[in-house]
Structure 1
């Protein structure tokens, strides 16, 4: 039954009619977005700022908002009061090198495809109290775009997409990368996403409820970082859902740490010539039907990069 419901939710026909229905929220969305005037950078400006200032990023999207304000878990991450508190701590803490990212859809959807526009029209209107609550707790005057990691499937201008992706790859140009990822994520493996990096090391965490192992993940990250001679040469990329937001908040002022989300899946779509979500056989994908079923390749390079497995 769950698989049937998930299929219907992701079915193209269902999505089309859902988008039409969500269009009814356009005018109230316009009211809220213009009233708030949130200062959220565009996807490209976000990445250019990350590169120019060597910023760390902790991203808050609809999943994190559900955990904080609705006390609801998301598919791969159960709710807990501790997680909610840790997410709020990232928001309210004093930051130097760390910036908070929230979706540009809270302010503008000018770059987005129609289906994405319609989603944000509906979401912002339905969750406007949560968004205001979030902003009232934050000490940030400017936000990065949390959606920069979904550029391929959400933006409509292919030239703009190419510019964003080229800038993203500059984040780890000639750097030592530490990837902290869920099992099956395989970020940047068997593609050219990380081809310009100096080296890649990986900590593998659980794909489901990574937060339940956050203390072990913290220890593994610290062990790696204390062994590095110069942290200016290191970039940490974390793909662990809300746990990535928490860890980016904790480590972001020590070393450049980017909550990188689904970027690798997005890159896989692009490499296959798609600007929409498709099944990637070699990846775990929590957002697709049967996304936990994937093919494990015998990739010796990937295996050699793993420095710790937390299960």
Structure 2
């Protein structure tokens, strides 16, 4: 006897796990029989890792693609060191770079191979990529041996050149090719060594035949099953017993129905197959009652209907003070839901959201003794039904945002030798989908910035925010007014990404002069910065026109100064090259990053690799203005000035000391 869960992807299967356990108990199924999870997509490492983290053994996973080979193992067992030695013997390389999640072999400044490491056990690998002059040629994916490989060709799109998947080869245990998957436009063809050529539907049918379902087997169908699988399993696996999971939760209510998906969020999609179903599983007694009524109304066969509740709970919920008298309600919810309701302490519903990823709510003019509670709901054919409820929530007494002042931030970085990533209005604009003068919007960059700002709990990285949430009278009127407007525009975004009660550094670490109403404190801060830089070997990573410290004594006390010169605009387009160059020159140095939004991602990646990297931004402009006694922002004629973002009419001067400090020129200008 085997029990199979048939679904489209891994995340859905994990959502189903508790309900399947309840179903097994209710039907007196042999509870010791492990469930086999059949998924219809390629067995990607990250998805397999997602299963194992959820407590599901890799031996329970069944991939359609691998099942048609004689190698169905999804457990990683290839030793990293052994494969590295093989590559060192077979490839002509000049260097090896060890990173947290990968090992790179390089030649002549180019990466020629990358070993992709298991995140939870770096002694094992899950893949290898091969390159030729930055072009991806081939990717191999491993478990206990190679399971498949991807072959790529260089293709053009409106966004430029990219690596296009052309062929995927699946392997038997002895390394021979089991079959090839060939991509031709929108079509997929599967070529077998015996001459058979299948389309995808035929491959699905072949898989169900090979599965060889018997009358003792149970197939549990989740409502994400692709339509071709539904047809194949009822045609070629009809000897088995079938149970359908209906109303599993939020996936079915939000997705738009398409021909490739079986479900559209209602019971009715199951009705044509009711004769084939032995059991239907719903979430509540009310759903069971409704389903019975619908089946009888449409004169359908009525299978056994069992109730297996959706599991979900609120892990935490808290109410924080935000700014200007506003409060933020934040919560964490685990389980399936279609949205959330928020109630006041009297039980009056005050808010509803259908965004299951939104776990915050802004509250204005709150009495601090007020209370709230939250309910998670799921959609049903007859409306929304509560699935879980939080405890009563009262004001925690904590501020939502806790930011160290400039001096505290500097001391924190100095004492702990922690890296820093500073976020300002430019990064917020990028994360919300807008370009800024010196960096075009880039989806990947925006995503990485959001990951960094949303996860401040890293021992080696201090995330810094603008110190604007209180006491804005510290800044001159124009500056205070700017940040007031900024907060009004982005208050909801800050409420989304900030973790309540956490400690952040001040992004104004590098803005200690011009915006302050009382500029008398600036001299002490600049002196503390120069003391901080003193006797250190410094690597400056900056734009072509920045020339930080040139013409002033900001880094005069440093033991040494070296520079990597990068593009002044759209530096992120050369991110990989910049990062690799820093690795070559940044060992045992204090790395000062002056490269806009790109500096934030660099600071994070370098911190993970054990470097000390500070995103120090426009400190040079601030120091120059301080020395001038300027009361407004002044453009410099011989280098970049903050807020003068287009670098127009700059006359660069010859400077032998500056020229000798440059160890790499990555900017296009010469």
Normalising by structure 1, report the TM-score.
Answer: 0.82
> Which of the numbers 590, 593, 596 marks the counterpart of 1:238?
593
2:80 aligns to what?
none
Name structure 2 gaps, 5 residues minimum: 1-321, 329-362, 364-398
Corresponding position: 1:144 with 2:505: yes
Corresponding position: 1:204 with 2:565: yes
1:60 aligns to what?
423
2:433 aligns to what?
71
CA–CA distance in structure 2, aligned partners of residues 280 and 264 of structure 1: 11
CA–CA distance in structure 2, aligned partners of residues 40 and 102 of structure 1: 7
Point out the structure with the larger helix share.
1
Whether the aligned pair in 2 keeps the contact of 1:100 and 1:143 (CA below 8 Å) is yes
CA–CA distance in structure 1, aligned partners of residues 642 and 417 of structure 2: 30
Which of 1 and 2 has higher RCO (CA within 8 Å, sep 6+)? 1
Matches within 5 A, 1:104-119: 104-119=467-482
Whether the aligned pair in 2 keeps the contact of 1:151 and 1:164 (CA below 8 Å) is yes
Note the aligned Cα RMSD (angstroms): 2.2
Corresponding position: 1:255 with 2:549: no
CA–CA distance in structure 1, aligned partners of residues 493 and 538 of structure 2: 35
Secondary structure of residue in 1 paired with 2:590: strand
CA–CA distance in structure 2, aligned partners of residues 142 and 286 of structure 1: 27
**How many residues were matched structurally?**
275
2:464 aligns to what?
101
Shift of 1:120: 1.5
- Between 1:188-197 and 1:35-44, the stretch displaced more is 35-44
Secondary structure of residue in 2 paired with 1:105: coil
CA–CA distance in structure 2, aligned partners of residues 93 and 109 of structure 1: 24
1:294 aligns to what?
650
Whether the aligned pair in 2 keeps the contact of 1:77 and 1:210 (CA below 8 Å) is yes
CA–CA distance in structure 2, aligned partners of residues 128 and 79 of structure 1: 21
Whether the aligned pair in 2 keeps the contact of 1:77 and 1:208 (CA below 8 Å) is yes
Shift of 1:29: 5.6
Secondary structure of residue in 1 paired with 2:325: helix
Q: 1:122 to 1:78 in 2, by over 3 A?
A: same
CA–CA distance in structure 2, aligned partners of residues 240 and 289 of structure 1: 12
1:11 aligns to what?
none
Secondary structure of residue in 2 paired with 1:155: coil
Name structure 1 gaps, 5 residues minimum: 1-27
CA–CA distance in structure 1, aligned partners of residues 442 and 581 of structure 2: 23
- Between 1:193-202 and 1:31-40, the stretch displaced more is 31-40
1:175 aligns to what?
536
2:324 aligns to what?
30
CA–CA distance in structure 2, aligned partners of residues 42 and 86 of structure 1: 26
Whether the aligned pair in 2 keeps the contact of 1:37 and 1:107 (CA below 8 Å) is no
CA–CA distance in structure 2, aligned partners of residues 297 and 55 of structure 1: 35
Corresponding position: 1:163 with 2:524: yes
Shift of 1:195: 0.6
2:193 aligns to what?
none
Shift of 1:200: 0.4
Q: Deviations over 1:268-300 (max 9, x none)?
A: 111222143111111123622763321111100
1:88 aligns to what?
450
Matches within 5 A, 1:31-46: 31-32=325-326, 36-46=399-409
2:188 aligns to what?
none
Bigger Rg, structure 1 or 2: 2
CA–CA distance in structure 2, aligned partners of residues 112 and 48 of structure 1: 22
Whether the aligned pair in 1 keeps the contact of 2:463 and 2:505 (CA below 8 Å) is yes
Q: 1:282 to 1:33 in 2, by over 3 A?
A: farther
2:145 aligns to what?
none
Whether the aligned pair in 1 keeps the contact of 2:437 and 2:646 (CA below 8 Å) is no
Shift of 1:48: 2.3
